[in-house]
Structure 1
Amino acid sequence: MKKIVLLFILFLTVTSCNKELGKLPDNAKVEGNTILDQHTSEIALNGVYYRFANVDAGSNTTTWRDHEVLPGMCAGFLGYGYGADGAEENDNAGSGYTSLPWTQLYNLINAANGVIKGVGALSDNAFTNNRKQEILAEARFMRAYGHFKLLSLYGEWYDKSSAYGALLRTDFVTTSNVLKARSTVQESYDLIMEDINYAEANAAAEMANYYVSKWAAKALKLRILMSYGDYADAATLANEIITGSPYQLEANVKDLFYSKGLASKEVILGIQPQQNQSSYYYNLSSQYYPGASALFVAKQALKDLLAGDPRQGWLIGSENAYLPGTYYFLKYIAEGTKATTISETAYAFRLTEVYLLGAEAILRAGGDRQAAVTLLKTVMQHAGITDYTAVDNAVTTDDLLLQVYYETAKSLTGEDGQEWMALLRLPFATVQQLRPLIKDKLQYIFPVPHNEFLQNPLFGEQNKGYQK
């Protein structure tokens, strides 16, 4: 945990007060930095965004691999191009990746807590207009995002009565407060909702789409409501975002990934690459199309899912010679090309997800079936689909929910884990049918990393089915 403190202090100083995320640090010395006024509050907040983007300090590149690749592995659509990782077989304990989000997310939470504490202690008069509340809203969004991801990956989020919730951190970690027990699932949801409600109420309505706005807060709240099972409120919130926000679906979704990036009006919250990131040999998009020592690929299941879909032509590339039966995953980078700023851009929330969650929420809440169908078909239309036979032939609500899941996997695989969460919201029998490697709901979540028990013996029990 001492490392977390040091990382946060480092990232308070690798930013500029006007939030130039691509600017390299002028000075690595950090001693004596504190939050004293609006100027230093903005610097500290920028450090939180660095943790959200998971910037590697050595290469100065954003590293969103574990957001893009790991959930796709678990869902069976993405894989490692030189041999299957355990996550691809839902062997979470045998994976080389499932422990990695833990540290990344607690680094983010700790950074957010530093800002919440420091800014909260300042007088309102130290800020212009409503900036104090907006900074706190952005920091609390990040804390909610971190805790919700941790609950989703390492806690029994699907059982509100479970004791296996998240380890909730609301104070900046020091050697005196490292020891802490995990909370229950309900306690986890309560804190997450408290934070995201504050963010929704106080974040600025208009921000560049690589910073948190009230609309980004609403989009995160929508995800939370879907996991919590509050489908009626989720349907209402999705409609509010679709009808009231400034975002628009991209006419051709391929343009978002290949030519527009953050310039697309569909992006609610994205990850801006760092300066010169595209020229770094080991950037992420170079690991989708060979140019780095790692290789992340599309699996046969994704190619099969996209059969007859116009997206298959640009999402799925040539067969990977190193591992037959896998293919170059070209969502971010075209085959035969080199990395660019656009190929290095990542996406946390975009409007397509809101449409699909809205459709799912309407169906689960027993709402207007035709309204759900319209949302689903609208997403498909913007992907170039003209044949809606499968949707039209879906007789029951479960049949239509399955079609929403298929479209979610087609649209969102390789972004921020929604292909995995959408699968797990289906009935368990359906999950087993679609993903036979899942024999038990215990495989829905990852083991808590061993180091947590060494550093924090008060944490409590390891997740069921795993060893400490």
Structure 2
Amino acid sequence: MKKIVCYIMLLLTTISQYACKKDLNALPPQAKVEGNVIIDQKSAEVAMNGAYSRLAVVGTSLSVNSTTYSIYHEVTPAMYAGWMQYGFGQVPDYINAVTPAASATLWTPNYAILNAANGVVEGVNALADSKFTGTRKAEMLAEARFLRAYAHFNLLAYYSEWYNINSAYGVMLRKESLQLSNAAQARSNVKDSYDFILQDIDFAIANAADTRPNYYANKTAAKVLKMRVLMLRGQSADYGSIITLANEVMANTNYQLEASLKDLMQVKGLTSKEIILGITPFTSQVGKRSRFEFIQSSVYLASPQFRKLLENDPRATWMLTKATTSTQASIRDSTYMSKFFGPKVEESYVFRLSEVYLLKAEAIVRSGGNLADARTLVHQVQEKAGITALANTVNYLAVENANTPALMLVEIYKEFSRNMVAEDGIEWLALLRLPFATVRQLRPTIIEQKQYILPIPLTEFQLNPTIGEQNPGYPRQ
């Protein structure tokens, strides 16, 4: 019982530190996310904003209130994929050797989202429909369940054997807000994990608003999340569903590919019509910049592998910048990942339209479709980065010459990596969807499939002994 109480206090402390207003900047100090403070639509909106603050991982960075999303959703997966490295020495993330003692990086923030989202679901469901205007009650439930699906999906992708639908090693699903009675809980199997995630997403697609400011989830964001989930599940019927969803999103005139990838990242940011869901920073924060460019004590750099990936690619001229001004000798003459540099550096992107094009291309290939159709989609994305038959023949021709499904999937993975590196783990999961032999060739630090996922954190076994077995191949401690 003492362990259960400690577990509850640890999670409640984690999830109740910060909240935010509609632009994720600052809720009043009394803002909460627990369902029992939801008494009307206004208080429900406050709780919902608190749940979005968990998505943004609101905290402090360099002693300033900040969205710290980039630590968990940008830098860490990019290191797993081999495209970023720590500036002051090798770390386990970069060599795919994370231990249970250090594997909570993506565990804790996602369970914080779940508790907040569940609080909104329970609180809103408890209110009469008359407490809400129009369809807002159903829309709020859709947004909360979207956030719940997003968090469960991350836990599935990073801590569960997502690649084996029959595996017992799925997600510890949190379907209700954390209480003393449900704190100790076992994990579900993989199939049930996928099923529950998709139930939440389908509810969001059916009930979310068609349009919302792009720091909130809407019907389109739910469709893109479903595409991610189905691509990871990878059952034969999933690919047709992905293509259908992609066509629906691409037909939505509210969104369009940005004419210049550089302008999207460094000039337009969240104002671009390509962004489907993003993270709005605090106006005073500099924390994300400090992770990509040395400011005070830490920095993450473009790896030699990523620099090689961008050889003969016009993106290298602005996505890579020599770190020649640092006073730290250990990173002098190293290379910054300068993709986000400029006035939009603190903004982050959860979903954007380029991913939809590339996921559709991948689904076409995996479903046995016409390679020419997939090739066209990849070229449409490449064009926005300055890669055309005339302007960049090397990478353009690599796609043109990919004349088998296996070769085309590798080229799609490379475009995911060049275009969407450090954006919510997209490049990491695209790598792992390739055949294991190909993964080993492209990422030599992965020598066993167990490295596709992380071990369950040591603290979880200490506080929740009923969770079940550790992921195969890993010790409990």
- The 8 Å contact of residues 193 and 221 in structure 1, kept in 2 or not, is answered as yes
The residue number in structure 2 matching 1:424 is 432
Structure 1 letter corresponding to 2:55: F
Counterpart of 2:273, as a letter, is K
Q: Counterpart of 1:429 in structure 2: which amino acid?
A: A
Counterpart position of 2:5: none
Partner amino acid, structure 2, of 1:343:
V
Correspondence for 1:3: 10
- In the other structure, the counterpart of 1:382 is 384
Q: How does 1:109-258 map to 2 (within 5 A)?
A: 109-229=114-234, 230-258=238-266
Q: Is 1:308 aligned to 2:312, yes or no?
A: yes
- The farther-off stretch of 236-245 and 124-133 is 236-245
Aligned partner of 1:337 in structure 2 is none
User: C-alpha offsets along residues 66-121 of structure 1, whole Å, 9 cap, x if unaligned?
Assistant: 1101111111110101011111111121885x321101000000100000011011
TM-score normalised over the length of structure 2 = 0.91
Please report how far the alpha carbon of residue 32 of structure 1 lies from its aligned counterpart in structure 2 after TM superposition: 11
Unaligned stretches of 5+ residues in structure 2: 1-7
From 81, 91, 94, give the equivalent of 1:85.
91
**Aligned mates of 1:430, 1:95 — CA distance in 2:** 30
Instruction: Identify the residue that residue 75 of structure 1 maps to in structure 2.
Output: 81
In the alignment, does 2:47 pair up with 1:44? yes
The aligned length equals 453
Question: Which amino acid is 1:61 matched to?
Answer: S
How much has 1:411 moved relative to structure 2? 0.6
Pick closer, same or farther for the CA change 1:319–1:292 going to 2, 3 Å: closer
Q: 2:372 aligns with which of 349, 370, 373?
A: 370
* Cα shift at 1:246: 1.4
In the alignment, structure 1 residue 261 sits paired with structure 2 residue 265: no
- What is the CA–CA distance in structure 2 between the aligned matches of 1:446 and 1:32, rounded to whole Å? 32
AA paired with 2:296?
Answer: A
- The match for 1:292 is 296
User: Using a 3 Å threshold, how does the CA distance of structure 1 residues 41 and 27 change in structure 2: closer, same or farther?
Assistant: closer
Q: Give the 3 Å change call, closer, same or farther, for CA 428–28 of structure 1 in structure 2.
A: closer
Tell me what 1:451 maps to: 459
Indicate conservation of the 8 Å contact 1:81/1:295, yes or no. yes
- Structure 1 stretch 35-44 or stretch 86-95: which is displaced more? 86-95
Q: Report deviation, 1:29.
A: 9.1
Aligned counterparts of 1:287 and 1:392: Cα–Cα separation in 2: 36
Contact 2:275/2:353 (8 A) holds in 1? yes
Residue in 1 aligned with 2:362?
360
In 1, the alpha carbon distance for the partners of 2:250 and 2:101 equals 38
- Cα offsets for 1:195-216 (capped at 9, x unmatched): 0000111110000001001000
Alignment of 1:428-443 (within 5 A): 428-443=436-451
- The residue identity in structure 2 corresponding to 1:149 is N
Partner SS, residue 448 of structure 1: coil
Give the 3-state SS of the residue equivalent to 1:348 in structure 2. Answer: strand
Report the Cα offset of residue 435 of structure 1. Answer: 1.0
Which whole-Å deviations, capped at 9, do the CAs of 1:138-189 have from their partners, x for residues lacking one?
Answer: 0000000000000100000000000000100011102221010000000100
1:35 to 33, 38, 48: 38
Matched residues in 1 for 2:442 and 2:312: separation? 19
Match of 2:341 among 333, 350, 368: 333
Q: Does the aligned pair in 2 maintain the 1:2–1:174 contact within 8 Å?
A: no
Deviations 1:398-442 (A, max 9, x none): 111111111010011111001100000001110011111111110
Identify the residue that residue 403 of structure 1 maps to in structure 2. Answer: 411
- CA deviation map 1:442-463 (0-9, x unaligned): 0000011111111111100011
**What is the CA RMSD across the aligned residues, in angstroms?**
1.9
Q: Is the 8 A contact 1:2 1:175 kept in 2?
A: no
Preserved contact between residue 41 and residue 131 of structure 2 (Cα < 8 Å)? yes
What is the CA–CA distance in structure 2 between the aligned matches of 1:311 and 1:15, rounded to whole Å? 35
What percentage of aligned pairs have identical amino acids? Answer: 47
Q: Distance between the aligned counterparts of 1:62 and 1:95, measured in 2?
A: 25
